[in-house]
Amino acid sequence: MKISLFTFLFIVGLFQSTNAQTSHLRFGTRIGGSISLLTGNFFTSKAKPTPGIGIYGGGLLIISLNNEWSLQQEVQYVVEIGKSVDELRVTAENGKQATMQVSTRHQVAALRVPLLLRWSSGTSKAGNVGVVAGPVGSYIVSVKTYYSMDSVYNTPASTSERDITYLSERLQLGITAGVEYYITGNLSVDIRGVYSITNHVQTSYNASLSTLSLGAGYMF
């Protein structure tokens, strides 16, 4: 699937470059980390969502329209994580009660394809600033949930894992926007936000991840 997507992007870029004098192709790569927050009614009412840290990486193709405007198409593999902490009341045999803490880590792996409109303060060189925005399509590879429970009374601490990929909506849609800064003509750093329009889990429960990412890019 990765090969076919890159092939498609290359063909689109080649067509554009041969039919417009202002067109210019550049290939590059982006890697980085992300902070995600899980929303929806996936948790119980008492659970407290907390940010989780993920990673991403992939390739990109820039089709220049002029010195300022271009189309930027990307293919990424992303792993995003949302967390929560819940508290359960546990009663011992002698009638005493205690609080058990249950931690949940919700992990989503996906292939992501942002289709972006890009504005830059000029041709790629040190000190230039760029802005990107556009829709994001994703295909979910897996959804897993990891549980961790504290030790209470004579009950030992325990962990468990559940694969809920079969509950997921494989095709996802979102929007993204961000800014980038060129350290050199080839190396840049960026910050982006991704808001998920669709729920990746949609049954009696639903869940979605909204993400803030920090990354670095290199253009060849």
Q: Angle 118-51-196 (CA atoms, 0-180°, nearest 5)?
A: 45
Residue by residue, what is the 3-state secondary structure of 86-153? EEEEEECCCCCEEEEEEEEEEEEEEEEEEEEEEEECCCCCCCCEEEEEEEEEEEEEEEEEEEEECCEC
Q: What is the pLDDT of residues 48-68, one digit of tens each?
A: 788 999 999 999 999 999 889
pTM for the whole thing?
0.78
* Residue whose entry in the numeric block shows the structure tokens 């949930």: 145
**Average pLDDT for residues 38-53, to the nearest whole number?**
75
As a whole number of angstroms, the distance between CA 182 and CA 124 comes to: 7
Which pLDDT score, from 0 to 100, does residue 107 have? 94
Q: What is the pLDDT of residues 150-183, one digit of tens each?
A: 766 666 677 889 898 998 889 999 999 999 999 9
Report whether CATH 2.40.160.20 matches the domain 2-219. yes
Q: What is the pLDDT of residues 93-144, one digit of tens each?
A: 666 776 777 888 889 999 999 999 999 987 778 889 999 999 999 999 999 9
* Residue whose entry in the numeric block shows the structure tokens 């992300």: 34
As a whole number of angstroms, the distance between CA 60 and CA 31 comes to: 11
